C-alpha cells in the first residue's frame, strides 16, 4: 500500500517537473543534461571520524578532477541547519547532481526531496536516508562491518583466554542508520555468546553524533559501574580511542580488548601499541570512486556504467539501487594492508614511539 502511494507520488513529481523516466530506471537523469555538469557533495563533520576530511574529500576530489568535472565539496560540521543551508546554496548554484552524507534521516530527506523537486538527481553517500528519495546509495555492507567487529572481539578475548568476560558495547549515533547496521552485525555474533553464558552482557549505550569526547565520559561511567569489563565493542576508531584513554588512566589498556572501524592513523597506532584489538578497513577510495562515477553519469544525464550498481537496499519505503562494497578486518597481523593499499602513509602513523613499532610490523 505504502509503496503504491509513494510510486504514485513519484509519478506525480515526474509529471510536474517534466522529467522523463529512462527505461524504467528511477534515476531522474533527463532533466539536467542541458546544464553545465556540476557535482555538490555535503560531508557530515570532521570530528566523528578522521575519514571524512582526510580520505573521502581527498578521493572524491581526485576523481572529479581526473574526470574534469566541476564540483563543490562542503562539510556541515555536524550542524543540521548548516547542512540545509549548504544544500540550498548548492541547488541555487546549479549543481546537476548532489551527494550527501546525512546527519539524520529527517534532515537528509528534506534535502533529497528538495533536490528531487528541482530535477537534481541525488546519491546517499555512505549513510542511507531512511524513507528518503536518493537516486542511488553507495556504501559498504555495513552489517558485515559489524560482524567483523564482533568476530574480532571474540578472537581477541579467546586469545587472551578470557572466561565469562563482561562485554561493554559503545554504539554509534542513534540517528545514523549505519550505526544500527553495525550493531545488527556485532550483536549477531555477541548475542549467542551472552545467551549461552560464555560472555556476560555489560553496559550497552549509543553515543550521540558519534561524539568522541562524550564517548569517553560514557565509558568512564560504564567502568565505574561495572569494574570488571573485560572487552569493549566500540563502533569506530574514534570511540575506541576514547575508551582506550579511559583504560590507560585505569592501567587497563592492553588488558581489555577494544574494537574500532575506519583504520584511522590513531586506530592503527593503537593496534600497533597493543591497546586496540582490531579495526575495520573500508577502502574509501573504492567507495569514493564508485560514487563519483555515478555522480558524473547523473550530472551529465547519462546512465551509470553497467555492473557498477550491484544491489538494492530497502530504506523502509522503497528499494534504493545500491553499490555495496566489502569491508576487511585489520589486526596487528595484517596491518600492512592499509599501507600497501595506499590508504595510509607510514609518515602519518610511524611517528614518535610508533616508529619502532612500525619497523617491527614491517611498515616502512
The strands making up 229-234's β-sheet, listed across from edge to edge, are: 200-206, 166-171, 229-234
Closest approach, Cβ 194 to ligand BGC, in A, equals 25
Closest approach, Cβ 357 to ligand BGC, in A, equals 24
User: How many C-beta atoms surround the C-beta of residue 218 within 10 A?
Assistant: 22
Residue placing its CB nearer to ligand BGC in the complex, 112 or 297:
112
Q: Could you give the CA distance from residue 56 to residue 72 in angstroms, rounded to a whole number?
A: 13
The correct pick among 32, 40, 51, 218 for binding ligand BGC (CB under 6 A) is 51
Closest approach, Cβ 262 to ligand BGC, in A, equals 5
Which range in 47-55, 92-100, 247-255, 316-324 contacts ligand BGC by CB under 6 A?
A: 47-55
The correct pick among 122, 133, 178, 279 for binding ligand BGC (CB under 6 A) is 178
CA distances from 170 to 92, 125, 144, 149, 232 (A): 40, 24, 18, 12, 7
The correct pick among 136, 210, 339, 343 for binding ligand BGC (CB under 6 A) is 210
Closest approach, Cβ 198 to ligand BGC, in A, equals 28
The correct pick among 261, 270, 322, 328 for binding ligand BGC (CB under 6 A) is 261
Which range in 43-51, 87-95, 197-205, 246-254 contacts ligand BGC by CB under 6 A?
A: 43-51
Which range in 45-53, 241-249, 298-306, 351-359 contacts ligand BGC by CB under 6 A?
A: 45-53
Closest approach, Cβ 59 to ligand BGC, in A, equals 14
User: How many C-beta atoms surround the C-beta of residue 18 within 10 A?
Assistant: 9
Paired residues of 233 in beta bridges: 169
Q: Which of residues 77-136 bind ligand BGC (CB under 6 A)?
A: 126-127
Q: If you search the block for the grid coordinates 530527506, which residue do you land on?
A: 109
By the 10 Å C-beta count (0-12 exposed, 13-18 middle, 19+ buried), 2 is classed as exposed
The yes or no reply on residue 183 touching ligand BGC (CB under 6 A) is no
Residue placing its CB nearer to ligand BGC in the complex, 28 or 126:
126
Q: If you search the block for the grid coordinates 555538469, which residue do you land on?
A: 37
Residue placing its CB nearer to ligand BGC in the complex, 28 or 262:
262
Phi, psi of 103 (to 5 degrees): -95, -25
Q: Could you give the CA distance from residue 22 to residue 267 in angstroms, rounded to a whole number?
A: 45
Query: Mind giving me the DSSP string for 34-91?
Result: TSPPEEEEEE--SSS-THIIIIIHHHHHHHHHHHT-EEEEEE-TT-HHHHHHHHHHHH
Closest approach, Cβ 148 to ligand BGC, in A, equals 13
Q: Could you give the CA distance from residue 137 to residue 142 in angstroms, rounded to a whole number?
A: 12
The yes or no reply on residue 262 touching ligand BGC (CB under 6 A) is yes
Closest approach, Cβ 177 to ligand BGC, in A, equals 8
Contact 209, 176 (CB under 8 A): no
Which range in 11-19, 20-28, 170-178, 190-198 contacts ligand BGC by CB under 6 A?
A: 170-178
The correct pick among 26, 141, 169, 176 for binding ligand BGC (CB under 6 A) is 176
User: How many C-beta atoms surround the C-beta of residue 324 within 10 A?
Assistant: 18
Q: Which of residues 226-255 bind ligand BGC (CB under 6 A)?
A: 236
Which range in 46-54, 60-68, 244-252, 266-274 contacts ligand BGC by CB under 6 A?
A: 46-54
Report the relative pairing of strands 200-206 and 136-140 from DSSP bridges.
Answer: unpaired
Task: Decide: helix, strand or coil at residue 123.
Answer: strand
The yes or no reply on residue 48 touching ligand BGC (CB under 6 A) is yes
Q: Which of residues 276-305 bind ligand BGC (CB under 6 A)?
A: none
Residue placing its CB nearer to ligand BGC in the complex, 17 or 78:
78
Contact 122, 102 (CB under 8 A): no
Closest approach, Cβ 8 to ligand BGC, in A, equals 32
In the complex, the residues that contact ligand BGC under the rule CB under 6 A are: 48-49, 51, 126-127, 172, 176, 178, 210, 236, 261-262
Amino acid at each position: 500500500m505504502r509503496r503504491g502511494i509513494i510510486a504514485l507520488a513519484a509519478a506525480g513529481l515526474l509529471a510536474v517537473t517534466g522529467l522523463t523516466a529512462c527505461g524504467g530506471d528511477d534515476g531522474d537523469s533527463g532533466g539536467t543534461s542541458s546544464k553545465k555538469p556540476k557535482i555538490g557533495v555535503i560531508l557530515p563533520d570532521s570530528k566523528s571520524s578522521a575519514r571524512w576530511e582526510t580520505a573521502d574529500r581527498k578521493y572524491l576530489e581526485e576523481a572529479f578532477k581526473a574526470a574534469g568535472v566541476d564540483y563543490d565539496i562542503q562539510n556541515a560540521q555536524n550542524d543540521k541547519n548548516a547542512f540545509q543551508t549548504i544544500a540550498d546554496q548548492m541547488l541555487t548554484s546549479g549543481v546537476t547532481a548532489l551527494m550527501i552524507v546525512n546527519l539524520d534521516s529527517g534532515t537528509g530527506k528534506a534535502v533529497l526531496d528538495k533536490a528531487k523537486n528541482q530535477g537534481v538527481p541525488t546519491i546517499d553517500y555512505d549513510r542511507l536516508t531512511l524513507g528518503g528519495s536518493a537516486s542511488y546509495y553507495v556504501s559498504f555492507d555495513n552489517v558485515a562491518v559489524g560482524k567483523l567487529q564482533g568476530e574480532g572481539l571474540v578472537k581477541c578475548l579467546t586469545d587472551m583466554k578470557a572466561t565469562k568476560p563482561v562485554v561493554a558495547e559503545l554504539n554509534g549515533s542513534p540517528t545514523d542508520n549505519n550505526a544500527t547496521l553495525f550493531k545488527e552485525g556485532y550483536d549477531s555474533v555477541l548475542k549467542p555468546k551472552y545467551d549461552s553464558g560464555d560472555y556476560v552482557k555489560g553496559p550497552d549505550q549509543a553515543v550521540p553524533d558519534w561524539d568522541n569526547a562524550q564517548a569517553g565520559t560514557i565509558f568512564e561511567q560504564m567502568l565505574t559501574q561495572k569494574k570488571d569489563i573485560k572487552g569493549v565493542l566500540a563502533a569506530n576508531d574514534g570511540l575506541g580511542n576514547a575508551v582506550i584513554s579511559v583504560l590507560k588512566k585505569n592501567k587497563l589498556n592492553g588488558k581489555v580488548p577494544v574494537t574500532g572501524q575506519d583504520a584511522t592513523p590513531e586506530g592503527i597506532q593503537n593496534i600497533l601499541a597493543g591497546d586496540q584489538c582490531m579495526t575495520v578497513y573500508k577502502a574509501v577510495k573504492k567507495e569514493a570512486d564508485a560514487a563519483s562515477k555515478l555522480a558524473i553519469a547523473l550530472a551529465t544525464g547519462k546512465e551509470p556504467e553497467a555492473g557498477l550498481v550491484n544491489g538494492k537496499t530497502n530504506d523502509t519505503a522503497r528499494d534504493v539501487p545500491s553499490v555495496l562494497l566489502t569491508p576487511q578486518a585489520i589486526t596487528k597481523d595484517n596491518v600492512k594492508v592499509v599501507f600497501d593499499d595506499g590508504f595510509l602513509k607510514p609518515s602519518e602513523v610511524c611517528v614518535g614511539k610508533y616508529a619502532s613499532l612500525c619497523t617491527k610490523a614491517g611498515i616502512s
